[in-house]
Amino acid sequence: MIDISRKVNQTRITLARGDITKQQVDAIVNAANSSLLGGGGVDGAIHCAGGPAILEECKRIRATTHKGGCPAGEAVITGGGNLIARHVVHTVGPIWRGGKKGEPEVLGNAYRNSLQLAAGAGCKTVAFPSISTGAYGYPVDQAGKVALSTVEEFLKSNTTLEEVRFVLFDEITYQAYRDALDSIT
């Protein structure tokens, strides 16, 4: 199910239920861990579907520009390996610690930095999961508001993207993002 929910400039912000690894977009965003070496959830699914080429690029990134891994709020980009998407943007969201440790700012940076990398790589369409709401424990209703408001703000000054899609795995997350989209102006 895809629901075209809002336009900012000429860019569509859409919400969809489904599997992010099967999206026909230029780039998908990986809710990665700081090691960039794969993990569970979305990260594991992307590495599995994309094949070993993604892991090899991540290892090269760790060996050169991000020794020791990628800090929370930052992002790196690789090829898409066996995925439909040409690129994977790997970003690390914050671990939820009650909301008083800068989590909203770090989560906003994860979305913003991912969009900048995708646009810089010439991508017109980008698909995001709900970053940090799985194992990292960020409350999905709060994460949805941060995600959507950050994307909307970014699109006010960026006109290269045609669509930013949020691909949400379950109905609870999808509904939280619908509610968040309705609440931001």
Encode the chain in three state secondary structure.
CEEEEEEECCEEEEEEECCHHHCCCCEEEEEECCCCCCCCHHHHHHHHHHCHHHHHHHHHHHHCCCCCCCCCCCEEEEECCCCCCCEEEEEECCCCCCCCCCHHHHHHHHHHHHHHHHHHCCCCEEEECCCCCCCCCCCHHHHHHHHHHHHHHHHHHCCCCCEEEEEECCHHHHHHHHHHHHHCC
Q: 2-183 adopts what CATH topology?
A: Leucine Aminopeptidase, subunit E; domain 1 (3.40.220)
pLDDT digits (tens, 9 = 90+) for 154-169: 999 988 999 999 999 9
pLDDT digits (tens, 9 = 90+) for 107-154: 999 999 999 999 999 999 999 999 999 999 999 999 999 999 999 999
**Total-model pTM:** 0.95
pLDDT digits (tens, 9 = 90+) for 23-49: 999 999 999 999 999 999 999 999 999
Residues with a known catalytic role: 43
